[in-house]
Structure 1
């Protein structure tokens, strides 16, 4: 009878140990799956953020191109073309909105070059560049903002 009691105790201990090991195994598997899901979510969020930043950069570049075009098409005599003035004002408004959107979404390293390029475009559109040609006035700022945008997209 003592032998049967010990056999029952060992049997019961085996069942308990097996159940505990199964529970631990399931918990470890669940935690591993949760970590994998967290990494997947982080990667998806990062990729979505990068795509959003890329779109903001594209929008800014498009608006900058419109502003540059407006600077080149400005009439020589100030105030002679009300349509140009209205168009240029709209172009510059869109540029500043695109610049602010880009600042909201991008790294701090991109803020100053983009803002400086926007100011240079504004000066070129409204002919606040003195005797300096539009392309000469813009080139350095354009290159700096594009380099900063590339660096911003390359960083993780």
Structure 2
């Protein structure tokens, strides 16, 4: 009888130990799967955020080009087309400032100052607050600083 009891205790202990090990293995597998899913979600969020940043940077560059074209098209003061030019240019400058706000909001903080500086330079060029300096000369430094900062921001993203 004692041998049967001992055999039962050993068998029950084996079942309990096996069940415990199975539970531990399942928990470890579950935690591993949870960590893998978390990494996948972080990677997906990071990629989505980067795509969003690329989109707003492309939008800003497009608006900057439109503003630069407006600066080159500006008629001489008191010219025949000044009213038409101003009507067309107002929305271009508004779009530029909206796009710069999107960059400031959605991109790296290191882009804040280069976007602001480039936007102000474009605005000055459009409204001819640049004296006798050519538009491209006036914009070159600010545009280069912005492009360099944008590239660095995207490389680090």
Summarize the alignment of residues 2-151 of structure 1 with structure 2, pairs less than 5 Å apart. Answer: 2-78=2-78, 80=80, 81-151=82-152
1:154 aligns with 2:155: yes
Two-structure CA RMSD over aligned residues (Å): 0.9
Quote the Cα distance in structure 1 between the aligned partners of 2:88 and 2:24: 69
CA displacement at 1:54 relative to structure 2? 0.3
The DSSP-based 3-state class of the residue aligned with 1:68 is: helix
CA displacement at 1:131 relative to structure 2? 1.0
Q: How many residues align?
A: 156
The DSSP-based 3-state class of the residue aligned with 1:131 is: coil
CA displacement at 1:78 relative to structure 2? 4.1
Quote the Cα distance in structure 2 between the aligned partners of 1:79 and 1:6: 110
CA displacement at 1:63 relative to structure 2? 0.1
Quote the Cα distance in structure 2 between the aligned partners of 1:69 and 1:21: 72
Quote the Cα distance in structure 1 between the aligned partners of 2:101 and 2:57: 11
Quote the Cα distance in structure 1 between the aligned partners of 2:153 and 2:36: 27
Quote the Cα distance in structure 1 between the aligned partners of 2:127 and 2:57: 24
The DSSP-based 3-state class of the residue aligned with 1:77 is: coil
Which segment drifts farther, 1-10 or 74-83? 74-83
Structure 1 residues 17 and 142 mapped into 2: Cα distance closer, same or farther (>3 Å)? Answer: same
Quote the Cα distance in structure 1 between the aligned partners of 2:128 and 2:87: 15
What TM-score, normalized by structure 1, do the two folds share? 0.98
Quote the Cα distance in structure 2 between the aligned partners of 1:84 and 1:29: 67
CA displacement at 1:87 relative to structure 2? 1.0
Unaligned runs of 5+ in 2: none
